[in-house]
Amino acid sequence: MEKIRHVAIIMDGNGRWAKARGKIRTEGHFKGVEVVRDIAIAAKERGIEVLTLYAFSTENWKRSSEEVGYLMKLPALFFSRYLKELMEKNIRITMIGSLDGVPKDTAQILRKAMEQTRNNTAMTLNFAMNYGSRREITEAARAYAAEVASGKIANDCTEEQFEQYLMTAGLPPVDLCIRTSKEYRLSNFLLWQLAYAELIFVDVLWPDFTSDTLDECLLEFQRRDRRFGGAK
Query: Is 208 annotated in the active site?
Result: no
Which position among 26, 52, 57, 213 is part of the footprint of ligand IPE (CB under 6 A)?
A: 57
Nearest-approach distance from CB 28 to ligand IPE, in angstroms: 6
Amino acid identity of residue 115, one-letter, is E
Which position among 12, 27, 49, 198 is part of the footprint of ligand IPE (CB under 6 A)?
A: 12
Which positions from 190 through 209 interact with ligand IPE, judged by CB under 6 A?
206
- Binding of residue 49 to Mg ion (CB under 5 A): no
Contact (CB, 8 A) for 177 and 8: yes
Nearest-approach distance from CB 172 to ligand IPE, in angstroms: 22
Beta-strand ranges (E) seen in the chain are 6-10, 50-57, 91-97, 123-131, 176-179, 198-201
Contact (CB, 8 A) for 29 and 72: no
Nearest-approach distance from CB 19 to ligand IPE, in angstroms: 7
Which position among 58, 181, 193, 213 is part of the footprint of ligand IPE (CB under 6 A)?
A: 181
**Helix, strand, coil tally for the chain in percent (to 5):** 45, 15, 40
No. of H helices and E strands in the chain?
A: 7, 6
Beta-strand ranges (E) seen in 98-229 are 123-131, 176-179, 198-201
Q: Which residues here bind ligand IPE, judged by CB under 6 A?
A: 10-16, 54-57, 60, 71, 181, 183, 185, 187, 206
The catalytic site residues sit at: 12, 60
Q: Which residues here bind Mg ion, judged by CB under 5 A?
A: 12
